Structure 1
Amino acid sequence: MIRVVIAGATGWVGKALVAAVTAAPDLEIVGAVARTAAGADAGIATGLAPLGVTVHATLAEALAIPSDVVVDYTKPNSVRAHALEALAAGRHVVIGTSGPTAEDYDEIDAAARAAGRGVFAAGNFSVTAALMKRFALEAARYVADVEVIDYASAKKPDVPSGTARELAEALGAVRSAPTTRPVADISGPKEARGAAIGRPTAVQVHSVRLPSFVLACEALFGAPDERLVIRHEAGSSAAPYVAGTLLAVRRVAEAPGLRRGLDMLMD
């Protein structure tokens, strides 16, 4: 039995995860974190029957209870500290929160290796989003010029989305040098060309934040006289992210250190 703590238990994905972990025969929810519901039963706070698990205001309080894996679906400004705190307490970590940078993940990876614990992170735990990334990486082998466009609701606090950041970093690691004019050589506001994300070859990422969007991300490839668009769109339900997150919970302990991208587990 894998004992799970869910940080962000009353959030959009968190509520669905509490229900899914409760229903899984090989998983057990032993802790929940949500400031707004602190002191309540985790089942009642997420619309279920009572579970006998108290919601805590901080991760530190939840870590006082024996557990195996911490799942984080909180806020961009909290996830790095939560991951390091959980690793220091001897837990494996699954990160579904967007926002951490490549430098943040380097620090988390080092801490995980030092602790001998596993961390699995994905900008998007949806299987179809993982397929988008896989197909885009295949396309990048043949078409070097690519940019990423990230769409989300007007109230999403972080840019770019975790999906777009992960995609851009993966593309930057495999594509050839682009043929487009370098941003440093253009006239006008350079911000209009988006943010440069990825290494060793950065990819320009553009974040759109408007009402009516949930989440969408596309890789836009350009070649002489032709274009290719690989796009993923999310609906209004958190259900697509649950199965991938549970898969990560079950497999995060397989290897110490950080692994990123649901596509790593799909085969």
Structure 2
Amino acid sequence: MIRVLVNGALGRMGSEVCKKVYSEADLELVGAVDIKEGTVPLGDGVKVTTDLVAAIEAAKPDVVVDFTRPDVVMGNLRKMLPLGVHAVVGTTGFSDADLKEVDELARKHNTSLLIAPNFALGAVVMMKLACEAAKYFPHVEIIEKHHDNKLDAPSGTAIITAQKIAEVRKAMHQGNPDEKETMAGARGADYEGMKIHSVRLPGYVASQEVIFGGQGETLKISTDPINRECYMPGVALGCRKIVDQAGLVYGLDKLL
């Protein structure tokens, strides 16, 4: 039995995580934390408290699942990792320096953490297929589409997709060399010559399309989550496998 505490338990993702953990025979929901007190409506009700450190010390979880905000997640990890718990993190917005810091912090305290920009298995497969396609179609642009309450852009999924594609394709300039934006930002962000475009609209969950262009043809690889339930198998997998790791594991694909 793996004891799990959920941080951000009253949020859209956090509440789904609570339900998933509660329903799994080998996972036990032992605590819930959010910025405000409340109750998760499971069984007789799971009390939600606001003090992360106190909740960890009281519940003694094996794993803390964090679905909070980019502006607070590093502070959360600086609190939880020294307490010797493992972490499964779905919050995005990490810099390279952040990733280096939490890896060192986890190793110092003999624990581990999974940071996954996307827990959907479809997204993991999409990235793998995109890397295969990039070997033959080096001209590529990424369009990611999220709900309008998402705080960071581009998404962590778009960033890691571009990073993985860059491992199999040389950096290159795409488009006309004399291209000029008549409105700043029209061509999107740039990563190793790849353009990344972010859409923020009500109605989306977390869709992404990777478009490859070749002579006389285009190839599109996309993923379109219908609801947040699609992330839960990946979160549960992370809880089960991170307890046997050391330091930082970046990306759910590392545990598949």
Please show how residues 36-55 of structure 1 align to structure 2 within 5 Å: 36=36, 38=37, 40=38, 45-51=39-45, 53-55=46-48
Selected match of 2:212 from 206, 221, 230? 221
Report how far residue 190 of structure 1 moved: 5.3
Q: 1:64 maps to which residue?
A: 57
**Contiguous gaps of at least 5 residues in structure 2:** none
- Structure 2 residue matching 1:205: 3-state secondary structure: strand
Q: 1:113 to 1:182 in 2, by over 3 A?
A: farther
Q: 2:247 maps to which residue?
A: 257
Q: 1:211 maps to which residue?
A: 202
For the pair 1:245 / 2:235, whether they are aligned, the reply is yes
**Contiguous gaps of at least 5 residues in structure 1:** none
Selected match of 2:168 from 171, 174, 187? 174
* Distance (Å, rounded) in 1 between the aligned partners of 2:149 and 2:52: 25
* Distance (Å, rounded) in 1 between the aligned partners of 2:255 and 2:217: 33
Deviations 1:41-79 (A, max 9, x none): xxxx2322225x531213222222212111001112111
Please show how residues 66-145 of structure 1 align to structure 2 within 5 Å: 66-145=60-139
Deviations 1:205-245 (A, max 9, x none): 1101123322211111122222111111111x321111110
Q: 1:203 to 1:89 in 2, by over 3 A?
A: farther
Deviating 4+ runs (over 6 angstroms) = none
Coordinate RMSD, CA, aligned: 2.1
Report how far residue 83 of structure 1 moved: 1.9
* Distance (Å, rounded) in 1 between the aligned partners of 2:105 and 2:198: 31
Q: 1:90 to 1:153 in 2, by over 3 A?
A: same
Is residue 135–residue 168 contact of structure 2 (8 Å, CA) maintained in 1?
Answer: yes
Deviations 1:61-117 (A, max 9, x none): 222221211100111211122122211111111011122233322222222222221
Is residue 63–residue 239 contact of structure 2 (8 Å, CA) maintained in 1?
Answer: yes
Identity of aligned residues (%): 37
* Distance (Å, rounded) in 2 between the aligned partners of 1:33 and 1:131: 32
- Structure 2 residue matching 1:250: 3-state secondary structure: helix
Is residue 6–residue 71 contact of structure 1 (8 Å, CA) maintained in 2?
Answer: yes
Q: 1:202 to 1:80 in 2, by over 3 A?
A: farther
Q: 1:152 maps to which residue?
A: 146
- Structure 1 residue matching 2:243: 3-state secondary structure: helix
Q: 1:5 maps to which residue?
A: 5
Q: 1:48 to 1:192 in 2, by over 3 A?
A: same
| Matched letter for residue 55 of structure 1 | V
- Structure 2 residue matching 1:9: 3-state secondary structure: coil
Q: 1:102 to 1:195 in 2, by over 3 A?
A: farther
Q: 1:211 to 1:54 in 2, by over 3 A?
A: closer
| Matched letter for residue 6 of structure 2 | I
Is residue 9–residue 40 contact of structure 2 (8 Å, CA) maintained in 1?
Answer: yes
- Structure 2 residue matching 1:241: 3-state secondary structure: helix
Is residue 13–residue 242 contact of structure 1 (8 Å, CA) maintained in 2?
Answer: no
* Distance (Å, rounded) in 1 between the aligned partners of 2:190 and 2:53: 35
- Structure 2 residue matching 1:63: 3-state secondary structure: helix
Deviations 1:140-161 (A, max 9, x none): 2222221211111223222122
Q: 1:182 to 1:265 in 2, by over 3 A?
A: farther
How many residues align? The count is 254
* Distance (Å, rounded) in 1 between the aligned partners of 2:243 and 2:176: 42
* Distance (Å, rounded) in 2 between the aligned partners of 1:153 and 1:233: 12
| Matched letter for residue 77 of structure 1 | D
* Distance (Å, rounded) in 1 between the aligned partners of 2:98 and 2:190: 17
